[in-house]
Amino acid sequence: MNAPRTVPAHEYWPCFFGSGECQIPAEFVEDDGDGGDAYMCPKHHKEFLEMDARLASDLGLSEKLAAAIDRHE
């Protein structure tokens, strides 16, 4: 995974998460999955990384299951 870009101190971007409910200024920029930028405050960036790690783990389990099924067949 690439390291996130950080938002320059002189720029203000609202946090991307929480549908505008989060009022903490963004400090990190990640890819939004559609080629754009997703700006995140430190709190939501941590949650994003945890979610990303869980997803990667789940995908690994899916690949292991698919391999086991292929071996069985």
pTM of the model: 0.62
39 to each of 5, 6, 21, how far by Cα in Å? Answer: 10, 9, 14
Number of domains in the chain: 1
9 is in which domain, residue-wise? Answer: 5-72
Q: What tokens were used for 30? A: 């990640």
What is the side-by-side order of every strand in the sheet holding 5-6? 5-6, 28-31, 37-40
Query: pLDDT tens digits for 18-49?
Result: 666 788 888 888 888 888 888 888 988 898 88
